[in-house]
Amino acid sequence: MRPDCHPEITEHMATFIHVRRLALRLSLEDVAKRMGSSKTHIWKLENGRSKNPTLWMILGLCEALQCSLNALIGKDVSQPIFTESEMALVDAHRTIFSKLEASSNAEA
């Protein structure tokens, strides 16, 4: 079995799936049917025993549980993660281009 490279995501997903499923009053079977999976696989995900679900499985869970990917995995994946030095470059770039824009607006 492949090692769990992100145990914090696995743990969050397990808890989230269980809590969300109960909040929606769905059985394991209901979730499985909604996403075209097996009750056993949903149980394994809910108990942190399935550590490497496919992208299709994750998208199916989002649909079945009516949630976002961010909520399901417990991380904001909508924005890239930059290091401090990369952010400094972005800030310098913005500063340079805002000065260029201001000077060309002043000339016009």
Backbone dihedral region for residue 37 (phi beyond 0: left; psi -120 to 50: alpha; all else: beta)? beta
Half-sphere exposure of 5 (CA within 13 A, CB side): 3
Mean pLDDT over 18-43 rounds to 96
Mean pLDDT of 10-29: 96
Please report the pLDDT score of residue 3 as a whole number.
65
Residue 3 neighbours by CB distance under 10 Å: 7
Find the mean pLDDT for residues 70-80.
Answer: 87
Q: What is the pLDDT of residue 22?
A: 97
Measure the CA–CA gap between 55 and 36, rounded to whole angstroms: 14
Stated pTM of the model? 0.70
- Confidence class of residue 108 from pLDDT cuts 50, 70 and 90? low
Task: Give the confidence band of 97 by pLDDT, cuts at 50, 70, 90.
Answer: confident
- Please provide the average confidence, as pLDDT, over all residues in the chain: 90
Of all residues in the chain, the percent with pLDDT exceeding 70 is 96
